[in-house]
Amino acid sequence: MTDLAALHSAAMAKDQQPFAADRLGGYRLPPGPTVADLGGGDGGLLTEMLAGEPDRRGILLELPDVAAKAEQALRSEGLADRIEVIRGDFFEAVPAADIYLMSVVLCGWNDSEAGRILSNIAATAHDGARLVLKEILVPDGLPHSTKVTDDVKLALTGGHQRSEDEWHTLLARHGFQLDRITPAGAPFCFIEATLTNAAAEEPEQSRQMSCLVW
């Protein structure tokens, strides 16, 4: 099982290599001193996000085998003192942080499983904590190439790629208000949300929709 987890993580890192050159698309994290990357793989994205931000500290939560590889990679990048690697399971508990980053994580889980991860964040984080998701956004209704990756996710993991409305509903159900969606280098988007335990449903027009233009 742990071999499979390590293999899956390595495959994901390779899977994202074609997009690595433009992985952030100019995106900057919202303000906050501590950034926890849950299921952060080899730490590549967190390293990139914290580059040039010496006042921020990172935490990478990963399954044990993948965490060991991330530790090695961060040591060789000279970042071991700024990014702490925690071996753990996001279905059990998450560390305290101001910003929670999850890249290509929630699409691997169905709504009930993804909800357990979001609930663990809501149980640990302070009100106003930020969530940053890097995901592929699926347009509602229209035929679109992202729907192929949705079918693949469903077959491989039981998870699925979500539309803006699906993200809005899932996040609101667990106390997060969707703030904005920005391009992250096609085909990905960054979805930002804020933990407001009393999050109310927003009117449709107040949300931004800016990355279905690839």
Ligand X SMILES: C[S@@+](CC[C@H](N)C(=O)[O-])C[C@H]1O[C@@H](n2cnc3c(N)ncnc32)[C@H](O)[C@@H]1O
Query: 23 or 56, CB closer to ligand X?
Result: 23
Which of 61/99 has CB closer to ligand X?
61
Binding to ligand X (CB under 6 A) within 154-183 occurs at: none
Biggest distance spanned by C-alpha atoms of the chain: 47
9 binds ligand X (CB under 6 A): yes
From 52-60, 78-86, 104-112, 144-152, span contacting ligand X (CB under 6 A): 104-112
**DSSP 3-state assignment of 95?**
coil
Six-digit token pair at 166?
A: 């699906």
**Among 16, 47, 120, 161, interactor with ligand X by CB under 6 A:** 16
- Token pair 């229209």 is at which residue? 142
Count of residues that interact with ligand X, criterion CB under 6 A? 20
Structural contact between residues 16 and 104, judged by C-beta atoms closer than 8 angstroms: yes
* Segments of the chain assigned E as strands: 34-38, 57-62, 83-87, 99-103, 130-136, 176-183, 188-195
- The nearer residue to ligand X, 108 or 183, going by C-beta atoms, is 108
- Binding window for ligand X (CB under 6 A); candidates: 5-13, 73-81, 147-155, 194-202: 5-13
Exactly one of 29, 40, 131, 183 binds ligand X (CB under 6 A); which one? Answer: 40
DSSP, res 52: T
Give the Cα separation of 196 and 131 in Å (integer).
11
Find the shortest distance in angstroms from Cβ 5 to ligand X.
5
> Which of 20, 48, 91, 197 touches ligand X by CB under 6 A?
91
To the nearest whole angstrom, how small is the minimum distance from the Cβ of residue 145 to ligand X? Answer: 19
Q: Give yes or no for residue 103 binding ligand X (CB under 6 A).
A: yes
DSSP, collapsed to helix, strand or coil, labels residue 91 as coil
Q: Which residue is nearest to ligand X (CB)?
A: 39
Interaction between residue 47 and ligand X (CB under 6 A): no
Question: Which of 90, 100, 167, 188 contacts ligand X by CB under 6 A?
Answer: 90
**C-alpha to C-alpha distance for 91 and 63, rounded to whole angstroms:** 11
Tokens 């390595």 map to which residue?
Answer: 10
HSE-up of residue 205 (Cα within 13 Å, Cβ side): 0
Residues 81 and 33: their CA atoms lie apart, in Å, by 15
Q: Which residues bind ligand X (CB under 6 A)?
A: 5, 9, 12-13, 16, 39-41, 45, 61-63, 66, 89-91, 103-105, 108
